[in-house]
Every structure is written in C-alpha cells, then in structure tokens.
Amino acid sequence: MLRDRRIRPGVGLVAALAAGGLLLALPPAAVGRPAGPAPAALAWPAAQKATLPADLPDGTAYEPGVFADARTSAGTAPSRDGKSLRLVVRAGDGSVRQLRALPSARNPSFQTLTVAGDQLFWFERSDTGLQLWAAGLAKGGPAHRVTADTGQARFYRSDHDLVVADGRLHWVASGPAGATEVRSVALGGGPVDVRAVPGIWRLLSWPWMVDGVADTRGARTLHNLATGRDVAIARPRKGDTDCSEAWCRIVSLDDDGYSRIELMRPDGGERHEIAGGTAATEIVDVVPLGRFEVFVRIGRNAELTGSAQLLVHETATRRTVEISPDAGNVTYRNGVLWWTTGNQESFVRHSLDLRTVP
C-alpha cells in the first residue's frame, strides 16, 4: 500500500502565532528586509549535508527519529499493508534494514531513538507497556530488550531524554511526592538503578540536570548528579528561561509585543540578543553542541505553507546563518538538524550534520 499523502508537518509555533494574530501584522523589520544572513552553503561549505526522499523504496512514509550522520538514519514506517509499524535503519546508500515491527492494533510507537557509537537504543511503547531496546546500527545480530523496568518515564523531545554515559543508559521518570527518578541500566541490561531527586527535572549532557519544567518562568537551578552540586541560574526578571549546562535561552516580548530571543551564561554573563520580531524557538535543546542556537523566523505566508525561515546563531562568532528559507518539520538530535521542504503533495527531507561545521 502506497503512502497516504499527508499535509506536510509545519513549524511548531506557526499555528500558535497565527492564532495570536502575529502573522497579520509583521513588524516593519520583517518587511522589505535587506540582504540577510549568509546561506549555510556559503557559510559552511565543508559541512556534511544531504537531501533525502520522504518515502522508503517500498513507497511507505518514513519518519526519521535520529541520524547517525547526514545520510544514515533510523526511524519508523508502516508496513505496506498497514498492519504493523516498523523500526528501520536507512543506510547512506538508501538500503533499508528492519529492526522491529509491532502490530498496529497494539498502538505502537518507537521513541527517544539514541545513537552511541555503532549502537542504537530506543524506547518502544504499546498497549502492553514501555520497554527499552537496543540493536546495532550496522548489519549484525537481532534487536534485544535491555529492560522493561522503565518506571513512568518522562520524555521532553530533547536530545537528552535518553543519555549514554559511563557504560550506562540514563533517563528520568516520575517519582513519588513530586520527585524525579533518575534511572539507569547497563548497556547490556541488568538491574535498574533508581535515584530520587526532589523536584521536577530533565536531563542534560551527563551528569547535569535542569529544573523549571513545571515553572512558568523556566529554569532556576542546574544540578550535577556526579557531585551533588547545585548551580543557581541568574534568571532575568522578565521572560522564560531554559538552560543547558553551558548556556541559557531567554524568550520574552519587547515593548511592541514581538518576541525577543537572548542567550546568556547560567551566571548571567555574555548576555546578548540573537533575534526579535517574529523569531521563535523551534527545538527544546538550548545551544546544541555548545555552539549553535536554532530558531525560525515566521513570514507572512507561514499560516498557509506551514513553513518558516530556519536559522542558526553561532555563539562563537555571533553571526546568524540561514539553513533554509522555507523549512517545515524541524528536528534536532545527535548533532544533526533535519527539516522538510516542498508542498502538501510532495516534499523532501534535508539534513545537516552540525558536528561537521568547522
């Protein structure tokens, strides 16, 4: 069965901005803008990138969950008869290898795909529960279950929802009395270690966590799981703050009601504005790789097209680079940024390995 032609997923905040009327009255700076940021092809000519078909060779719709490099990915696709959901690896040469298949009647999903070396790890959910699995990215042995002792795992669409460090897999789950359980298991399986931390936290690069998940103004504290040390975040009086262990992102409104995106160090140093007007954040992770802040700029046609200008701010040079003038379905994981371009009937997927930017 060939894929159903779906409406191309759009940029996450386009609908929200449209509902709020921001698309009807763009600020003057967004109209008739002079020559803008340099295209990525000129700014980063040596970076690895690819343009990939949206479908697998069998005609089924493919949704990548993680890229190992610009051309190699793992993701999901239905079977041709629609009776199962498959987890597959699509290699750089376009060949496809199936790792798992779950009956569609069990409401399956494959979540939080994570790459470490030549290994792929993921959570798979069905009406029978949540389990953690693993397999080799290259051709090798079959997929195997790591553990079913996952707790009430929490996912934030972050690159750090499942972290590989010190020979173990780490994730967070809901704990008793409003605490967060930090759970871990050896890569090959075995007993699950559970550590309760008061409050609601999400993982960052190991061994850091950040709070603010349930705070309308965002993060207040970084916590080091290895040392037990807390680091207070110099949260501004206005705006919503989210942080990595190295950078914080502040999103606020200016006096005219348009957005302002700023970056600063957790101690408040190096604070600077990176975008305003109709700019909007688009991924959960703050300054991936400690180098790049990803955001979009909403244009007048965004409500109709579901796409926007995709941009990246370099923290080292403080310049902004245009990744795509017309991007939809923007996703980041494992150092690779990917997005779609095209129309509702036909679209392609693009990838950019930010790890290869000089």
Count of all residues that appear for the chain in the document = 358
In this predicted structure, the answer to whether residue 332 has a pLDDT above a threshold of 70 is yes
The answer as to whether 9 is a domain residue is: no
Residue bearing tokens 């036909």: 346
The answer as to whether 29 is a domain residue is: yes
Name the strands in the sheet holding 144-147, side by side, starting at the edge strand that comes first in the sequence.
109-116, 119-126, 129-136, 144-147
Res. 300 pLDDT band, cuts 50 70 90: confident
Render pLDDT for 234-254 as a digit per residue (tens, 0 to 9): 999 899 999 999 999 999 999
The answer as to whether 1 is a domain residue is: no
Helices assigned H by DSSP within 210-328: 302-305
Render pLDDT for 58-116 as a digit per residue (tens, 0 to 9): 999 999 999 999 999 999 999 999 999 999 999 999 999 999 999 999 999 999 999 99
The answer as to whether 74 is a domain residue is: yes
Determine what percent of the chain falls in helix, strand and coil, rounding each to the nearest 5.
10, 45, 45
* Bridge partners (DSSP) listed for residue 51: 350
Q: What is the pLDDT of residue 104?
A: 97
The answer as to whether 268 is a domain residue is: yes
Domain count, the chain: 1
CATH number of the domain at 81, please: 2.130.10.150
Per the prediction, the chain carries an average pLDDT of 90
In this predicted structure, the answer to whether residue 150 has a pLDDT above a threshold of 80 is yes
Render pLDDT for 18-68 as a digit per residue (tens, 0 to 9): 334 444 344 444 444 445 899 999 999 999 999 999 999 999 999 999 999
Domain that holds residue 299: 14-356
- DSSP letters, 119-145, are EEEEEEEETTEEEEEEEESSS-SPPEE
DSSP one-letter code for 274: E
The answer as to whether 2 is a domain residue is: no
Res. 141 pLDDT band, cuts 50 70 90: confident
pTM: 0.89
Radius of gyration (C-alpha) of the chain in whole angstroms: 21
The answer to whether the CB of 223 falls within 8 A of the CB of 230 is: yes
The answer as to whether 87 is a domain residue is: yes
∠ CA 169-350-100, rounded to 5°: 45
Res. 255 pLDDT band, cuts 50 70 90: confident
Mean pLDDT along residues 280-288: 97
Mean pLDDT along residues 158-187: 97
Cα 241–chain centre separation: 18
The answer to whether the CB of 49 falls within 8 A of the CB of 333 is: no
Element (H, E) at 43: helix 40-43
The answer as to whether 303 is a domain residue is: yes
